[in-house]
Amino acid sequence: MSRRPPRFLLGGRRFSPAASLALAAPFLLLLLVVFILPLVMLLHESLFVPAPSLGNYAHALEEPVYLRVMLRTLRIAFLVTLLALLLAWPLAWVMSRSRGVGLALLGAAVLLPLWTSVLVRTYAWMVLLQRNGIINQILGQLGLVGQPVRLLYTEGAVVLAMAHVLLPFMVLPLYSALKGIPEDYPRAAQMLGASPWATFREVIWPLCLPGVTSGCLMVFLLALGFFVTPALIGGPQQMMIATLVSQQVRELLDWPFAGALVGILLAFVLVLVLLFRRAVRLDRFVGQA
């Protein structure tokens, strides 16, 4: 017996694979023109300009200055992911157990920052953290410090500001995963004598692990390529790889070396995504959402 090609549902109607591809064609064309093609051209320059070689990549990996920038980028991205997870977990848990007006208010608190420019939120942190900012004024009025503390242009300030900007990308996957856990499961574990910690470790954590890994992956990948917040909050002392690429392109006009930096970052991201796909099946998580 011949099998019919699968059809996809959209608004109650069934579409063949050819029709689905035609509907997605404008988006795929836009993706090809504004993302894939420029990326391929940049990688091509990194490998074949001025001559076919891996010299640009070797220079990026052998120079201590560039290695420090790459390691700093990885460290900051990891710390931002960890802080976002610690901040997002309680909020996502409360949202998953809330109803009505309470859930609407919490959801608005998570989504409203996404409607505000990253530049505006970054400048707000600069107002808070500067030498004569609000935090230093409060610390001085409480008598905790004798003189203003250096908060701005530090790695801690960069991590805090980036975690605030990327927090919604951690909250939403966590909320989706926690929402799918029936309330009877933790209650049944407690009735069987499990402590709150044992209930969390044996019941809640395994069931919400797809949301945790998805949120961590999104936040980590976004943090790797962050530009505005580290440039303004961290300054030259806390340069990350996106700022370094911008410097090579705009100031030094060294497009091949900038392409090599992008290629190294792209290779790391691809390896990370492949490891993630092996650890957690993406189609399973999408099916639970």
Q: Which of 120, 68, 77 is nearest to 239 (CA)?
A: 68
Do residue 142 and residue 34 come from a single domain?
A: no
Nearest alpha carbon to residue 122 among 241, 239, 231, 246: 231
Q: Which residues contact 43 (CB under 8 A, 6 or more apart)?
A: 259, 262, 263, 266
Asked if the model's pLDDT at residue 285 lies above 80, the reply is no
Indicate whether 44 and 70 sit together in one domain. Answer: no
Look at residues 37, 53, 69 and tell me which one is the last residue of a structural domain. 53
Identify the domain containing residue 37 by its residue range.
Answer: 1-53
211: three-class secondary structure by DSSP: helix
Residue spans of beta strands (DSSP E) within the chain: 8-10, 13-15
Residues 181 and 66 in one domain: yes
- Find the mean pLDDT for residues 49-54: 83
Q: Give the pLDDT confidence score for residue 49 in this predicted structure.
A: 82
Q: What is the pLDDT of residue 220?
A: 93
What CATH number should be reported for the domain holding residue 90?
Answer: 1.10.3720.10
The mean pLDDT value for 73-81 works out to: 93
Q: What is the pLDDT of residues 235-283, one digit of tens each?
A: 778 889 888 898 888 888 889 999 999 999 898 888 888 887 776 654 4
Considering the domain architecture, whether residues 24 and 127 belong to the same structural domain is answered as no
Is the same domain home to 49 and 61?
no
> Of 24, 53, 82, which closes a domain?
53
Residue-wise pLDDT for 180-214, tens only, equals: 888 888 888 888 888 888 888 888 888 888 889 88
Residue with tokens 């069987």: 192
The percent of residues above 70 in pLDDT, for the chain, comes to 91
Instruction: Give the phi and the psi of residue 194 in degrees, each rounded to 5.
Output: -75, 140
Tokens of residue 186, six digits: 């933790």
Q: Are residues 134 and 185 in the same domain?
A: yes
- Residues 137 and 245 reside in one and the same domain: yes
Rounded Cα distance between 148 and 140, Å, is 7
Same-domain check for residues 63 and 203: yes
pLDDT digits (tens, 9 = 90+) for 167-185: 999 999 999 998 888 888 8
In whole angstroms, how far apart are CA 101 and each of 171, 215, 289?
Answer: 18, 25, 22
- Count how many domains the chain has: 2
Kindly state whether residues 9 and 79 are assigned to the same domain: no
- Chain centre to alpha carbon of residue 123: 20
